[in-house]
Amino acid sequence: MYLCIMLVEIEDKIISTQIFERKFVCDLNACKGACCVEGDQGAPLTQSEVSLIEKNLEYIKPYMRKEGVEAIKTNGVASLDEDFEAQTTLVDNKECAFVYFDEANIAKCAIEKAQRENKIDFIKPISCHLYPIRTKQFNNYTALNYEQWTICQPACACGEKLNMPVFKFLKAPLIRAFGEDFYKELENISQQLESAK
């Protein structure tokens, strides 16, 4: 079986049509926030995000676990991956250092918690906010792709049940990252793809 992934272009963005075709709604009660815990790398960070986290660290720390605080104290807020790009520091090569667990043992973000408590303005890294869309910067364009991960099967099932395309579920972070006009273009493309079926 061959999977045909089409691409569309908006200015300097190349977008996989999977973000229109796939359905997705996070189901934290089912997955327990596994994307913040699983894997062998931290969340990708821009250099400006590294600076923002460092600047606001004292406001974020109260929402972190002691293991995360120790990891940051030892290794800083970010490390470099094999491509020399910044990523959040991990605790013992497992969960993100900024993870805390709520009363239902769901992994959540201390950065986001600090923002919701009006301690800081920074929501959380855009790579986390955009997931399961992953972005990759090239010389002349930015690629937006859908990342399929087995731990997100409950989110895919929930998205199918609610008939929620990935791009609609991620409206707020897409606007945060690329602006209102970009999102309106995504809506136009979605309509065109539906009409072409």
Q: Which pLDDT tens digits describe the chain residue by residue (197 residues)? A: 334 568 888 999 999 999 999 999 999 999 999 989 887 789 999 999 999 999 999 999 999 999 999 999 999 999 988 888 899 999 988 899 999 999 999 999 999 999 999 999 999 999 999 999 999 888 899 999 999 989 999 999 999 999 999 999 999 999 999 999 999 999 999 999 888 77
Are residues 189 and 155 located together in one domain of the fold? yes
Place of tokens 């995504």: 186
Residue 29 included in any domain: no
Query: Is the domain of 68 the same as that of 118?
Result: yes
Q: Would residue 59 count as lying in a domain?
A: yes
In a domain? residue 31:
no
The total domain count for the chain is 2
Q: Name the amino acid, one letter, at 45.
A: L
Looking at the fold, whether 197 and 125 belong to one and the same domain comes out as: no
Tell which of 79, 108, 129 closes a domain. 129
- Look at residue 1 in the predicted model and tell me its pLDDT: 35
141 in the same domain as 73: no
CA distance 140 to 157: 36
Shared-domain flag, residues 72 and 90: yes
Residues 10 and 56 in one domain: no
- H/E segment holding residue 185: helix 180-196
Examine residue 35 and state whether it is found in any structural domain, yes or no: no
Q: Let me know whether 108 and 151 are in one domain.
A: no
Q: Are residues 179 and 195 in the same domain?
A: yes
In a domain, residue 33? The reply is no
| Domain encompassing residue 181 | 1-24+132-197
30 within some domain:
no
Residues 53 and 97 reside in one and the same domain: yes
In a domain, 193, yes or no: yes
Residue 63: what are its φ and ψ, rounded to 5°? Answer: -100, -5
According to DSSP, residue 24 is labeled: -
Same domain, yes or no: 180 and 107: no
Q: What angle do CA 64, 67, 68 make, to 5 degrees?
A: 45
Last residue of a domain, one of 90, 113, 129: 129
Output phi, psi for 32, to 5 deg: 60, 25
